[in-house]
Amino acid sequence: MQFEGSVITEQGVTFAIVIVKRHVLQSASSREDTRDGFQPYFRGMPVILMAQDSRGTPTYHGRNDIVKFLANIHVSQIPWKRYTV
């Protein structure tokens, strides 16, 4: 399996962001199942899900303080990496 993601440490908090399809963010059970599926790859870190619309505008879902932080930075500032697991 391959996916795009990033691990960031900001203000002493280390968290992971994973890019998902938009439909994943549309239901609570889908979000939680997806987040749970990625948790083994990012042990001990909050996992934030991110999807983009057709214009590339991101939508984040996860811990509120982290989502608020991410809303104030441009998606190009995130150091994305392709993970192969």
pLDDT tens digit sequence for 6-42: 999 998 999 999 999 999 999 999 999 999 999 999 9
Predicted pLDDT at 83: 95
Predicted pLDDT at 16: 98
**Distance between CA 66 and CA 11 in Å, rounded?**
10
For the entire predicted model, the pTM comes to 0.93
> In the CATH scheme, what architecture does the domain 2-84 have?
3-Layer(aba) Sandwich (3.40)
Tokens 């989502």 belong to which residue? 67
pLDDT, mean over the chain: 95
Report, as an integer, the average pLDDT of 61-83. 95
Tokens 């932080």 belong to which residue? 69
Hey, where are the domains in the chain?
2-84
**Distance between CA 3 and CA 19 in Å, rounded?**
7
